[in-house]
A and B are shown apart, each in its own frame.
Chain A
Amino acid sequence: MRKTSRNRAPGARSAPDALTELQVDLLLSLREGPAEAGDLLDRIARWRGAEAPLATVYRQLQRALDGGWLTLEEGTSQATDGSRGPGRPGRQYRLTAAGERRLEEALGSQQRRLEHARSLGLLGRAGAGRSRS
């Protein structure tokens, strides 16, 4: 797993920013289409197999918005679950072109890593472990 900036010791030179797993999950979820917060969280939970911690997700949302990978649009809710009925004011997160590029870069990088692992004969062992697909 990539070393995140959180674990990087201060004083060491910064490595190029890399996406965290949750950031990849976020961008990937929005690749399905724009979503309100609730739907977005549901998509991530579905993909990860467990609820993502809220504050962590929102911190990543903020970073993605600051990085220009997402936009936040005010609009009318399309959600249909319970009290959050359609037609009320809502906000939608949408993937930008820059976000798509960043996601492709990250997935490409993962792809290369997988191929390298396969060439080392590790994939079988990796596959025997935890899998989300």
Chain B
Amino acid sequence: MRRALDQRAFEALLRLSPRRFRTRFGDELAAQQAARARRSEPAAVVRRGQWRAVRDLIRQLPGLWRDELAQRPGRALGSRRRRGDGTVRVLFDEVLHAARRLRRSGRLLTALSVCTLGLGVGAAVAMVTVVRGVLIAPLPYGEPDRIVRIFKDSADEGDFFLSGVRFAAAREQLGSLVQVAGFYDYQEEGLDLVREGRGRRLRTLRVSAGYFEALGVAPLLGRTFERREEIPDGAGLRDPNRFEMVTAPAQPVAILSWRLWNEELGGDPGVLGSRLELGGSRFSVVGVMPRGFGGARAPHVGGSADLWLPLDTAAGGVNVLDNSYLSVVARLRDGVAPKTAQAEIDRFLEGLRAEGRAPESLAWKMVPLEETVVGDSRAMLWLLLAAVGVLLVVICLNLSGLTLAQALDRRREMACRSAVGASRRRLLLQAILESGLTSLAGGALGAALAWLAVHILRVAQPAALPRYDALRLDLPVLGVAVAVSAIAAILVGVLPALEASRAAAAARITRGATAGERTGIPRRLLVAVQLALAVVLLAYAGMLGRHFAELYHVDMGFEPDDVLTFQLRLPDHRYAEPERRIAFYGQLFERLHAAPEIEAAAATSKLPGDGHRNRWGFRIAGVELDEEDTVPLAEIRCVAGDLLGALAITLLEGRDLAASDRAGQPPVVLVNRTLATRYFGDESPIGRQLLVGGRPARTVVGVVADVRPAPAETPVPKIYLPQTQFAGNRNWDLSFVVARGGDPRPTFSALQSRVEGVLAELDPNLAPYDFVIYRELLGAHLARERFAATLMSSFAGLVLVLAALGLYGALDYGVRRRRSELGLRLALGAARRRLLFDVAGYAFAVTAAGLAVGFAVVWAGERWLSSVFDRSGLARSDLAISGFDVALTIAVAATLLVVAALAALAPARRTLAIDPAEVLKSQ
């Protein structure tokens, strides 16, 4: 029969008793407990009795261990150790006594202390986990510290892509790099996998030979790509200088991710050599990568991919000098320092320049892969870690103040113990142990909270955090929790212990109640430091918060409110012909515009403000360039429908793209104001012709207002091309925008239903995805700013509340302690207002001290903080973070004064309520 829960609990607890006791009485005790369960009494009465026995056993366990320690060899009855001088026994006694003290001195207070400390430790441990996972843990590649990225270092464009031609040359000539590989992550690519009549969109990444070797990851099955697979059939017939839009894989071979291999092919070990139908072509599987590779978010090496395809590196096609589109990753040869490799790259470019094959301005920059992964997040994370440190210090100071008040209340007990022989060291030990137990519990709670926070981060996958998948709460991090708790215990316990033991030593027993009351300074100091730290965090949170608000409400150049966005991909195998795609989009927009709840609808290859780049070189017809690398660059947007109408982008000059701008008609484009002013100056670009992606020349028919590429970025030159005239060479992945109209405005879910309905009418097999309200989409691009501002504000808010509680505690304690004095003064004729001023004066003095020190720290650290913000990437482009100015100073000071006034309210009321007669009677 299954034993009752109480019996099992009893036996489990019994296992926690000392072995000697267990061996001697374990079976007998368990049998007696079981026998009592068989009593002929009502079941409820029996159960209650049984649980009472369980509670009794819990209570006896510490005593059993205490007895056991006393009985250990060398600690026999009557021995010196038995009398209480053995270190272990003393410690054990003190721990038990401390636990009892905590229990008696107020469960609410103890619980509050544990929770506060748990919050601090949890925040600290979670932040340490993030810093460790993001900044310290090695990347999941072979010898990751030897992997580098190579960028074109452009003053205008920042880190930029390399051209396929230069990549091919560098690969042959750079000896300090053992592998140099290219990959195409200029924009996301995908192919439809068709199996058994159903299609699935797969994310593909085209990579050159040596890509996997550069990352130091071997395939699980098969092999990686070879050089010969980079050359498509018939590539030898290409004109090496002629640009041609070729975006297909070089050869029909593929390497699968572990996930795809398992999901689509059931993990078949005989998959090598089998054929997959992808986008209408058949690809031969040559390899399978190990689990995790490419599955995690890895934007630094091409992003997550379902399968890898060989990159076309043959000259001609896209591989011409002025087409920079390739990302490059390389591995340093063993023993070669990064500086040496960079020097070789510089010599290589110097050689090209000497031969007249590169412009003077051409420069490449080699960056450790880790740097590109962590990038701007490093400074932000250290900043947040520092903020958590401040929070933890404030918590410790707060608890220290609380413990100090308790300790001073216990002067008489301390004095008694001191009088009967307890040394000061032992009194100190007891006080530290009490704080130690609180810290231990706080540490355990903190570890649990940190685990929860890390779990939430892993699930939420915040865009602000690179490598969130590497976050783990493991033993070393838990070690940090223990260390932080131990430090907290010392910080919380030492000052009160010193103060109380000093008071006890001074007071002894005769004047225990009044001696040693010079306690105002330490508490005042503790509270002032807390307030100063609150000022610092409030100031920094204010700066970040204001910056975030400015970014959030920045004029994007278009109207994102009332707009719904979604993605749609026309399957390659069913929409292979351009005419079919153009016809489909034509019908779609016709029907969408006919719907009453839709104001306007459009599609574009990249959404305005989403931060994605698709920069192409262009030429102005009739203008000759001196050097190939000075080709002007512009963001290219392939558009369909009424984009200007849907997003309320202002047309500054000329006309909008029209339905009549269809294939076969003279090709036209729109340009933005930045392009117009940068390349045409005061002249009007209307009627001028641009060559975008080669011929034919396209006539500029309109100039539109600038839109920001992202909330924190300044506008760049941009060209809008009608999809009807630019869709012949590829099936673009288009993002759709639908502006809601009508009165009343439909809800976004109604709008989504309407769009889905229209699409289903046209092609029931299409599946639109990623429906997002445009404003939220823009907000997502401020993830890092939001993350930093939210965390900093939370920490600042917590610190402010704690500091206020600290001030309240100090004031309240002061009023209670001085009740007799205040009552006497009232009895002697002092005005209540005068007493009130005393309390308010104390609050004001401490707050003023906190404000003064806090502002001094903020102003002293402003330059340092500005540099941190600059390096954190939080201050970007023209929207730099404003410094700490008068407005913020006033806001922070006002906040602190209001909070201080609120904290002083209750103690002030208590002061007013003192009855002098009652005080005199009690005296």
Which residues of A are in contact with B by a Cβ distance under 8 Å? Answer: 6, 9-14, 37-38, 41, 51, 53-56, 58-59, 61-63, 65-67, 72, 91
Contacts and interface: CB of A to CB of B under 8 A. Distances in A.
24 contacts: A6-B63, A10-B90, A10-B96, A10-B430, A11-B417, A12-B421, A37-B28, A54-B29, A54-B32, A54-B56, A55-B53, A55-B56, A55-B60, A56-B56, A59-B60, A59-B63, A62-B24, A62-B25, A62-B64, A62-B67, A66-B71, A66-B77, A67-B77, A91-B28
A59 B83 CA distance: 20
A38 B32 contact: yes
Contacts of A61: 25
A109 to B, nearest CB: 20
A58 to B, nearest CB: 5
Contact of B21 (A41, A54, A62): A62
Contacts of A63: 67
Contact of B35 (A9, A14, A38, A53): A38
Nearest to B423: A11
A51 B90 contact: no
Q: For chain B, give the interface size range.
A: 35 or more
Given A55-B57, A58-B28, A67-B77, 12 more contacts: A6-B63, A10-B84, A11-B422, A13-B420, A14-B83, A54-B29, A54-B32, A56-B56, A56-B60, A62-B24, A62-B25, A63-B67
B229 interface: no
Given A54-B32, A62-B24, A11 B421 contact: yes
Nearest to B420: A12
A119 to B, nearest CB: 30
A54 B21 CA distance: 13
B93 interface: yes
The 8 closest A-B pairs by CB, nearest first: A11-B422, A53-B56, A10-B93, A55-B57, A55-B60, A12-B420, A55-B56, A10-B97
Contacts of A62: 21, 24-25, 64, 67
A92 to B, nearest CB: 12
Contacts of B60: 55-56, 59
Interface of B: 21, 24-25, 28-29, 32-33, 35-36, 49, 52-53, 56-57, 59-60, 63-64, 67, 71, 77, 83-84, 90, 93-94, 96-97, 413, 416-417, 420-423, 426-427, 430
Contacts of A13: 420-421
B67 A59 contact: yes
A60 to B, nearest CB: 10
Contacts of A9: 97, 413, 416-417
A54 B35 CA distance: 12
A14 B417 CA distance: 12
Contacts of B24: 62, 65, 72
Nearest to A72: B24
Nearest to A13: B421
A11 B53 contact: no
A3 B364 CA distance: 84
A41 B29 CA distance: 11
Contacts of B28: 37, 58, 91
B422 A12 contact: yes
Contacts of A58: 21, 25, 28-29
A65 B23 CA distance: 14
Given A10-B90, A62-B67, A66-B71, A41 B421 contact: no
Nearest to A65: B24
A16 to B, nearest CB: 11
A66 B67 contact: yes
A103 B575 CA distance: 102
Given A10-B97, A10-B430, A51 B36 contact: yes
Contacts of A41: 32
Contacts of B32: 37-38, 41, 54
A54 B423 CA distance: 38
